[in-house]
Amino acid sequence: MSETKRKWFWAWDFDKEESWINQMAAAGKVLSKVGFTTYTFEECEPGEYTIRMELLENLKDSKSKEEYLELTGNSGAELIGKVNRWAYFRKKSSEDDFELFSDVSSKVGHLNRLRVLLALIGTMELLIGVNNTIRSFDVLPMFGVPIAILLIALGVLILFGFCRISYLRSQLIKENTLFEK
103 binds other proteins per the rule CB under 8 A: yes
Residue 101 CB partners (closer than 8 Å, separation 6+) = 107, 109, 110
With b meaning 16 or more CB within 10 Å and e meaning fewer, what string describes 161-176?
A: bbebbbebbeeeeeee
- Residues 7-26 within binding reach of other proteins (CB under 8 A): none
In the complex, what is the shortest distance from the CB of residue 8 to other proteins, in angstroms, rounded to a whole number?
Answer: 25
Out of 4, 38, 105, 170, name the contact with other proteins by CB under 8 A. Answer: 105
In the complex, what is the shortest distance from the CB of residue 75 to other proteins, in angstroms, rounded to a whole number?
Answer: 5
- Residues 46-75 within binding reach of other proteins (CB under 8 A): 54, 57, 67-68, 70-72, 74-75
Out of 106, 131, 170, 171, name the contact with other proteins by CB under 8 A. Answer: 106
Residue whose CB is less far from other proteins, 152 or 165:
165
Instruction: Print the SS3 string covering 35-96.
Output: ECCEEEEEECCCCCEEEEEEECCCCCCHHHHHHHHHHHHHCCCEEEEEECCEEEEEEECCCC
Residue whose CB is less far from other proteins, 3 or 97:
97
17 in Cβ contact with 167 (< 8 Å) = no
Site for other proteins, rule CB under 8 A: 54, 57, 67-68, 70-72, 74-75, 77, 96, 99-103, 105-106, 109-110, 180-181
